[in-house]
């Protein structure tokens, strides 16, 4: 009798397992017969949830030297941003260079000209560079770098170090002197860690990089050519390779100011926001006579929750609003639920939830440093035109 009961129990258990198996396969397959990955979550994985305020991003922190960049997570490992260079090597001169990234050692070997020095997509900011030029022609190669919040260093030459441990380089100048300058041209371009990507080729002492807006250099290429020879790549309008239209903050300011002159506002204030370059300009004056009074680095809407573009009059203001577990301060509304506001804080309003700017990161609003948001909140009146493009 006991044996019969055990046999019946085993049969019932087998039937339950078989039914469960078929139920899983029916639910985990789509109508076209393919397996839907979204229905299967492994024990050691959790689906990404970018909108979960309780799981904040891991923002870059340019002001925290004790927190190294993450070298193991490229921006897009499936699409490496490898540079291509077309040039004719000059006779009678040999150019080499090497760099050092933060929290890393010097590159072991000096790179031949046109080779990439640094890294792409690994978020390793350069902090120093050495350049050598061997030639029987008289003259020198001079180079200097600008470090974030430190300023320009002195010109260096012949393999001397420009930069310093702990620095974050955001701009560089390279030039030739003497007979070298008469015989050769020196070209160079830099790779910026944010969406600017590879900037266009600068030449003979021009500034390459983005000054003072936390857009750091992660790689560089340098090319020496015969005087007047074809440039190694794009130099037109100093445009970047990724269609970000302008190379430096000065260029962006100039273009924005020119655009502002054709815009009217019902007040003597005007706001313009360039969502491709992540800058917002605050202007005072009138149509045709707008003067830029504040230039602000911002973050805008990410893919899927893009920032609303167009021309809109400022509708309302509120000192703060809450979104899930975060608080935004000094909020100025320009269209429906689209605001200019501070970087997000935790609920208590004391700790910054995410300081990231200069990228597509928000749910549609335009975020900025708290002091900048407060400036707009306090000074820019209602009905002011906001032009977002």
Q: Name the residue with tokens 């639920």.
A: 337
Q: Quote the tokens at residue 209.
A: 């990089």
Q: Which residue has the higher pLDDT, 138 or 81?
A: 138
Q: Strand pairing of 141-147 and 151-152?
A: antiparallel
Q: Which residue has the higher pLDDT, 301 or 1?
A: 301
Phi, psi of 122 (to 5 degrees): -105, 5
Q: Is the pLDDT of residue 269 over 80?
A: yes
Query: What is the torsion angle, in degrees rounded to the nearest 10, for the CA atoms of residue 227, residue 126, residue 207 and residue 97?
Result: -20
pLDDT given at position 75: 36
Q: Quote the tokens at residue 320.
A: 């703060």
Which residues lie closer than 8 Å to 69 by C-beta, 6 or more apart? Answer: 60, 102, 103, 122, 123, 124, 125
pLDDT band at 83 (very low <50, low <70, confident <90, very high): low
DSSP states along 219-239: EEEEEEEETTPPPSS--GGG-
Q: Name the residue with tokens 């019946």.
A: 8
Is residue 162 within 8 Å of residue 128, measured between CB atoms? Answer: yes
pLDDT given at position 248: 60
Cut 0.85: pTM above it: no
Q: What is the CA radius of gyration of the chain?
A: 28
3-state secondary structure of 133: strand
Is residue 123 within 8 Å of residue 218, measured between CB atoms? Answer: yes
Which residues lie closer than 8 Å to 57 by C-beta, 6 or more apart? Answer: 354, 356, 361
Q: Quote the tokens at residue 25.
A: 């396969």
Is residue 186 within 8 Å of residue 222, measured between CB atoms? Answer: yes
pLDDT given at position 307: 97
**Whole-angstrom Cα distance, residue 264 to residue 256?**
14
Q: Is the pLDDT of residue 123 over 60?
A: yes
Domains and CATH numbers, the chain: 93-244 (no CATH), 250-388 (2.40.440.10)
Q: Work out the mean pLDDT of the chain and round it to a whole number.
A: 79
**Whole-angstrom Cα distance, residue 53 to residue 227?**
56
Give 2-10's long-range contacts (Cβ < 8 A, gap of 24+): none
pLDDT in tens, 213-258: 677 899 999 999 999 998 898 776 443 333 343 446 778 898 999 9
């Amino acid at each position: 009798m006991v044996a019969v009961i055990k046999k019946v129990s085993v049969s019932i258990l087998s039937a339950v397992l078989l039914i469960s198996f078929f139920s899983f396969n029916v639910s985990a397959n789509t109508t076209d017969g393919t397996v839907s990955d979204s229905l299967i979550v492994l024990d050691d994985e959790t689906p990404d949830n970018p909108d979960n305020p309780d799981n904040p991003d891991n923002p870059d922190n340019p002001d925290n030297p004790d927190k190294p960049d993450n070298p193991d997570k490229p921006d897009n490992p499936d699409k490496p941003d490898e540079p291509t260079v077309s040039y004719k090597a000059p006779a009678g001169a040999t150019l080499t260079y090497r760099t050092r990234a933060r929290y890393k050692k010097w590159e072991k070997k000096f790179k031949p000209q046109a080779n990439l020095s640094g890294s792409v997509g690994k978020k390793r900011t350069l902090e120093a560079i050495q350049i050598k030029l061997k030639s029987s022609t008289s003259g020198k190669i001079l180079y200097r770098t600008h470090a974030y919040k430190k300023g320009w260093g002195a010109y260096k030459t012949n393999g001397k170090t420009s930069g310093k441990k702990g620095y974050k380089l955001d701009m560089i100048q390279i030039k030739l002197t003497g007979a070298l300058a008469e015989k050769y041209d020196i070209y160079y371009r830099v790779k910026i860690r944010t969406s600017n990507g590879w900037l266009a080729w600068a030449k003979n002492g021009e500034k390459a990089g983005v000054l003072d807006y936390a857009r750091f250099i992660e790689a560089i290429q340098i090319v020496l050519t015969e005087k007047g020879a074809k440039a190694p790549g794009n130099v037109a309008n100093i445009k970047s390779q990724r269609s970000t239209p302008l190379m430096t903050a000065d260029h962006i300011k100039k273009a924005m100011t020119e655009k502002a002159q054709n815009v009217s506002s019902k007040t003597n204030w005007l706001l313009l926001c360039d969502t491709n370059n992540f800058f917002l300009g605050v202007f005072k004056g009138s149509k045709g006579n707008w003067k830029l009074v504040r230039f602000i680095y911002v973050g805008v809407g990410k893919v899927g929750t893009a920032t609303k573009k167009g021309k809109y009059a400022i509708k309302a203001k509120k000192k703060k609003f809450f979104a899930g577990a975060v608080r935004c301060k000094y909020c100025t509304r320009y269209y429906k639920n689209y605001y200019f506001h501070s970087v997000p804080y935790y609920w208590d309003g004391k700790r910054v939830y995410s300081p990231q700017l200069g990228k597509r990161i928000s749910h549609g609003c335009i975020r900025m440093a708290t002091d900048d948001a407060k400036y707009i909140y306090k000074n820019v009146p209602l009905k002011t035109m906001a032009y977002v493009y």
